[in-house]
Amino acid sequence: MTFRGKPVKVIITGDAKEEFERLNKVIGDEISRGITSSEHQTLFNSIKQKIELIRNNPQYGINIPKKLIPKNTLNYMT
């Protein structure tokens, strides 16, 4: 995916990444047991929709000034 000629990546880090991965495992377990609809699946799908929205339009939402983003986070963006 590109935006204005630049590649777009959505990166989930820290606690959010751990929880996203845990949620993904829970959903995998639910699907293997035949559960096709749950709060976990609804939440996961909502997160995936927002990620796709951001991929398609990186200016979606509230823009945070670069000076307020921790430097270790900016390393992921390069």
pLDDT confidence of residue 7: 85
- Measure the CA angle with vertex 46, ends 5 and 74; round to 5°: 45
Residue 42 phi/psi, 5-degree rounding, is -65, -45
Residue 37 phi/psi, 5-degree rounding, is -150, 125
With a CB cutoff of 8 Å and minimum separation 6, the contacts of 32 are none
Q: How far apart are CA 46 and CA 64, in angstroms?
A: 22
pTM of this structure:
0.73
Q: Which two tokens stand for residue 48?
A: 């995936």
pLDDT single digits (tens) 34-56: 999 999 999 999 999 999 998 88
